[in-house]
A and B are shown apart, each in its own frame.
Chain A
Amino acid sequence: MPEQEITKTQEMVYELLVRDVMTKGVISVAPSTPMSGLREILRVNRISGTPVLDDGKLVGIISIEDFISWLADGGPECPVADRMTADVRAIYDDEPLVQAVCKLERLGFGRLPVLGRETGCLVGVITKGDIVSGLLKNLEVDYLNVEMRGSRSSHLFEDIVADQSLLVLKYQVRGADFKRAGACASGLKTTLRRLGVPPQTTRRAAVATYEAEMNLVVFTEGGRVTVEVEPELIRLKVEDGGPGIPDIEKAMQPGFSTAPDWVRELGFGAGMGLPNIRKCADRMRLDSTVGKGTRLEVEILMEQPDEAERHCAEVGA
C-alpha cells in the first residue's frame, strides 16, 4: 500500500468516531429469552452475538461462543440470563475509533455494545468487521476526491518550481495531406491528457486545433501549429504562408465556405471551421493578408476544479 494511504488510514482511526462505523438498529434479547431460541436469532440476523437488555438497560452480553459452550454442556433448558456475561464492557458512541480498536484487542472480544453518551442507553454494537468496513468506505470516498482534485491544472506544474512556467508544443502541418490531417490535433489531445489537463479544456483545445489544422490542409500549402501550455491557460497559434483570407468577416459566418466541391465529399467544407474555433475559445484573434498568409491566435482558460467535478458528474466520466 502506498505510503500516503497508510497514513490516511492511521489518521482515520483517530478521526472517526465509534458512531461513524457502528451497526445501529441492534438486535437484542431479554434475560428471560431461552437459550434454545438464541440460535435462530443469531442465524436469521447473521450476527455473532447480541446484547441482553432488561427493560432497556444493558445487563449483559451473549455470544455465539456462549451458545456453543451451552450446547457442549448438553443444552439444558435455561434462559439467556444464566449463560450471558454479566460484567459488560461497553464503549461510548462519541469515542474515537482507536479506542474501540484498543479495547477490542485488550479484552479479546469480538464485539462491544455501544452506549449513547447522554442517555447511557444502548445505541449500537461495534465489531472488528464494522471497523474494517467503515475505514474502507471512508478511504473510498477519499479516493474519489483525490482523483478529481488530481485533474486540476496545478497538478500539471506541481513539481516545477519557477516564477513562471510554460510548456511549448510545436507541430508542422503539410498542405493537401489528407491522410495525416488531424494527426496534430490528435497528438495534442493525447499529450494534454497525459499532462493532466482537465477533460473539457483538453477537448476544446483539441477541437480548435483540429479545425485549424483542417483549414491548413484544405486551403494552404502548409503551416505551423504552436501550443503554449501555462498553468492558467492554453494558447494556440496557427500560422501559414498563404493564400490568405480575403474577407475575414465572411469567413467567420457559419456556413460560409470557399472550399472546393470535392472537399465536401470528404466531409469538409461545411463552413463551420472558424465559427467552431470561436466556440471553443475564450479569446480569438485572426489576422490575414492576401498573398502573404494568415495568423490565428486562440486562448483557452483552464477549467477550474469545481467545474471539472460538475462536468464529471454530468458526463459520468
Chain B
Amino acid sequence: MKLNDIVQKLGLEVRAGAGALAAEVRGGYASDLLSDVIAHGRPGDLWVTLQTHPNTVAVASMNALAGIILVNGREPEAETLQKAQAENIALLVSALPAFEVVGRLYAWGLSGMRT
C-alpha cells in the first residue's frame, strides 16, 4: 500500500516529508518507547506513536521506516519538524487515538506480523 493512499484514507495532515509519500508501506509498528522501535522496527514499517521528540526522526531514519504518524492530534516539536524536513522523513498527524488508527490500518490489510 502506498503511503499516499494511507494519507488520503485516514485524512492525515502532512507536516514534513512530502517527497517521501510515494513510498511503499510494508507493515505497521505501534510503540512510544524509542528503545523498542529501534529493536523491532522493520524497513518499510509505518510507525504510529504520540512521541513528538526529535529522536523519533533519528530512529525512523536508522530503521528505514516508511514514516511516522503522530496520533491524538499531537504536533511535532519544532526541532522534530526541522529534522524530518531535512531528512525527508514523512511526518504525519492524525486527530484519532492510536488504537483507532492502527485498527483502520489493520483493516486495510497492513500487518504487524512479518513471516
Contact = CB atoms under 8 A, between A and B. Distances in A.
Interface stretch (B7-15, B20-28, B49-57, B103-111): B49-57
Contacts of B77: 255-256
Given A255-B75, A255-B77, A261-B55, A270 B33 contact: no
Nearest to B77: A255
Interface in B77-94: 77
Contacts of B55: 261
A46 interface: no
Nearest to A271: B52
Interface size class of A (residues with CB under 8 A): 10 to 19
Interface residues of B, number: 12
A255 B35 contact: no
A194 interface: no
A255 B52 contact: yes
A270 B35 contact: no
Nearest to A269: B53
A249 to B, nearest CB: 16
B54 to A, nearest CB: 10
B59 to A, nearest CB: 12
A251 B62 CA distance: 31
A275 to B, nearest CB: 11
Interface of chain A, main secondary structure: loop
Contacts of A256: 77
A75 B34 CA distance: 89
Contacts of A265: 33-35
A265 B38 CA distance: 12
Contacts of B34: 264-265
Interface string A256-272: 10000100110101110
A267 B34 CA distance: 11
B29 to A, nearest CB: 17
Contacts of A261: 55
Contacts of A255: 52, 74-75, 77
A261 B59 CA distance: 14
Nearest to B35: A265
A271 B33 CA distance: 15
Interface string A230-258: 00000000000000000000000011100
Nearest to B36: A265
Interface string B38-78: 00000000000011110100000000000000000011010
B92 to A, nearest CB: 16
Nearest to B80: A255
Interface string A165-185: 000000000000000000000
B34 to A, nearest CB: 7
A6 to B, nearest CB: 51
Nearest to B73: A254
A264 B51 contact: yes
A271 to B, nearest CB: 7
B35 to A, nearest CB: 6
Give the residue among B34, B53, B75 with the most A Cβ atoms within 10 A.
B53
Nearest to B55: A261
Contacts of B51: 264, 270
A5 to B, nearest CB: 45
A264 B33 CA distance: 7
A174 B75 CA distance: 32
A289 to B, nearest CB: 26
Given A255-B75, A255-B77, 12 more contacts: A254-B74, A255-B52, A261-B55, A264-B51, A264-B53, A265-B33, A269-B53, A270-B32, A270-B50, A270-B51, A270-B52, A271-B52
22 contacts: A254-B74, A255-B52, A255-B74, A255-B75, A255-B77, A256-B77, A261-B55, A264-B33, A264-B34, A264-B51, A264-B53, A265-B33, A265-B34, A265-B35, A267-B32, A267-B33, A269-B53, A270-B32, A270-B50, A270-B51, A270-B52, A271-B52
* Shortest Cβ-Cβ A-B pairs, 4 listed: A255-B52, A255-B74, A265-B35, A265-B33
